[in-house]
């Protein structure tokens, strides 16, 4: 479960991590009232769970009532990467001299949590990891003992953080790890952690994702769940359909059966130069109606320019999947996005025969299917 920025900041602030003064608003009058209480300048930030809000026009810095009114009228009600903005966070502007990144997640390759720190905050950390991996310092943590103070200091030192704020940054990181463990987090990060001219550190953004399977022991977090899902109709629809679904920022829609298979497809889309639009696992034993619902979801995402269907039959039969694909696509007067299908496993040959190749592109291998879907997406973006 993903918390909104304002919810994650509430959790962080309750634990002692410094955050800017802020207030939630859902209309222009609420924005003006909050700005007057906080004092200008303020940032007005769309509360939707997508990356790149600033570049997409979802964050604005304003210095007067007039500017605040104009920004609120633009942001509230806008569609930001396909998600309707219903609320904004009005937040005290931070006069900063530097931006850092701190985060905690699970390194599945090592089988341990990993704490990360970088002096290249305020930008997409995935891009930093790809372009300059040495800019991110990492420290693996034995979950039996937790993060030790020397580990927090070490990873901050390894990242090259200025000594004037190193102790405070290490403290924030330690608190972040404690929250990650105590709240059953899957990811927790602050990007950016701003450094002021007075050598104070402030969490200017906040990400906190929770393991949904652990919500039964996180009642306070669970209460945030319905509110956290607000604004993203696709994720709400996924809950209704019973799908494992995560919305991403790319243009290649991905449907598969089994989390491992879907993750493999995501990795291949990235490998071949594309960008995944979603993670959608239809599960085992998927019938035609379930496949129809999955396609309906992916087609509803305005960011999607192509769809790749990756099914390996075990419980899920290839002929049932093919029927579902045909039924879904035949309901359209015009296919909204090109669909590429790869079937393997149980009844895959029967499925191949059933598929209407006037409606879909069929590929024999996963690699070919992914490459073709990436090509279609690039054509759609052109």
% of residues, the chain, pLDDT over 90: 67
Residue 314 annotated as part of some ligand binding site? yes
257 is in an annotated binding site: yes
What's the pLDDT at 315? 73
Summarize pLDDT for 275-287 with one digit per residue, the tens: 999 999 987 655 6
220 labeled part of a ligand binding site: no
User: Residue 284: what pLDDT?
Assistant: 67
**Does the annotation place 181 within a ligand binding site?**
no
Q: Where are the domains of the chain?
A: 21-92, 96-227, 233-381
Q: How confident is the model at residue 49 (pLDDT cuts 50, 70, 90)?
A: confident
User: What is the tens place of the pLDDT at every residue in 89-131?
Assistant: 999 999 999 999 999 999 988 999 999 999 999 888 888 988 9
Give the chain's length. Answer: 382
Tens digits of per-residue pLDDT, 313-366? 777 788 888 888 898 888 888 888 999 999 998 889 999 899 999 999 999 999
- Judge whether 52 is annotated as a binding position: yes
User: Does the annotation flag 138 for ligand binding?
Assistant: no
pTM: 0.71
Within this chain, domains 21-92 and 233-381 share the same CATH topology: no
Binning pLDDT at 50, 70 and 90, where does residue 14 land? very high
**Is 307 marked as a binding-site residue?**
no
Residue 229 has pLDDT above 60, yes or no: no
Residue 230 clears pLDDT 80, i.e. is over it: no
The answer to whether 191 is a known ligand-binding residue is yes
Which residues carry out catalysis? Answer: 101, 189
Report how far apart, in Å, the C-alpha atoms of 267 and of each of 10, 118, 278, 279, 355 are: 34, 24, 12, 11, 26
As a whole-number percent, the residues of the chain with pLDDT over 70 amount to 97
Which of the residue ranges 149-153, 171-175, 283-287 would you say has the lowest mean pLDDT?
Answer: 283-287
Could you report the per-residue pLDDT of 235-276, keeping only the tens digit for each? 778 878 888 888 888 999 999 988 899 999 999 999 999 999
- Which CATH superfamily hosts domain 233-381? Succinyl-CoA synthetase domains (3.40.50.261)
CA nearest 116: which of 189, 13, 16, 210? 189
225 is in an annotated binding site: no
As a CATH number, domain 96-227 is 3.30.470.20
Question: What kind of fold does domain 21-92 have according to CATH?
Answer: Dna Ligase; domain 1 (3.30.1490)
pLDDT for residue 226 is more than 70: no
205 annotated as belonging to a binding site for a ligand: yes
């Amino acid at each position: 479960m993903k918390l909104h920025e304002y919810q994650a900041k509430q959790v962080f602030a309750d634990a002692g991590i410094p955050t800017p003064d802020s207030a939630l608003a859902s209309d222009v009058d609420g924005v003006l009232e909050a700005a007057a209480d906080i004092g200008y300048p303020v940032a007005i930030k769309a509360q939707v769970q997508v990356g790149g809000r600033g570049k997409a026009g979802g964050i604005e810095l304003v210095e007067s009532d007039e500017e605040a009114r104009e920004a609120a009228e633009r942001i509230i009600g806008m569609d930001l990467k396909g998600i309707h903005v219903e609320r904004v966070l009005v937040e005290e502007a931070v006069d900063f001299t530097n931006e850092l990144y701190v985060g905690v997640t699970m390194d599945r390759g090592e089988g341990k949590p990993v704490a990360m720190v970088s002096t290249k905050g305020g930008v997409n950390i995935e891009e930093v990891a790809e372009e300059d991996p040495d800019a991110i310092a990492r420290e693996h943590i034995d979950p039996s003992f937790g993060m030790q103070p020397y580990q927090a200091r070490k990873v901050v030192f390894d990242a090259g953080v200025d000594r004037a704020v190193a102790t405070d940054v290490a403290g924030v990181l330690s608190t972040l790890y404690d929250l990650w463990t105590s709240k059953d987090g899957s990811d927790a990060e602050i990007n950016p952690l701003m450094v002021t001219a007075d050598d104070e550190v402030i969490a200017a953004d906040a990400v906190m994702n929770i393991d949904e399977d652990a919500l039964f022991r996180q009642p306070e977090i669970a209460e945030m769940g319905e509110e956290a899902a607000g604004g993203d109709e696709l994720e709400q629809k996924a809950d209704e359909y019973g799908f494992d679904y995560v919305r991403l920022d790319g243009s290649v829609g991905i449907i598969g059966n089994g989390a491992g298979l879907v993750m493999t497809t995501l990795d291949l889309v990235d490998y071949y130069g594309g960008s995944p639009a979603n993670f959608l696992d239809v599960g085992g034993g998927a019938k035609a109606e379930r496949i129809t619902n999955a396609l309906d979801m992916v087609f509803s995402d305005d960011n999607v320019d192509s769809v790749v269907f990756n099914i390996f039959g075990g419980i899920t039969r290839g002929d049932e999947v093919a029927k579902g694909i045909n039924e879904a696509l035949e309901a359209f007067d015009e296919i909204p996005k090109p669909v590429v299908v790869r079937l393997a496993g149980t009844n895959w040959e029967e499925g191949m025969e059933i598929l209407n190749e006037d409606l879909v592109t069929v590929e024999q291998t996963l690699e070919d299917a992914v490459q073709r879907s990436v090509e279609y997406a690039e054509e759609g973006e052109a």
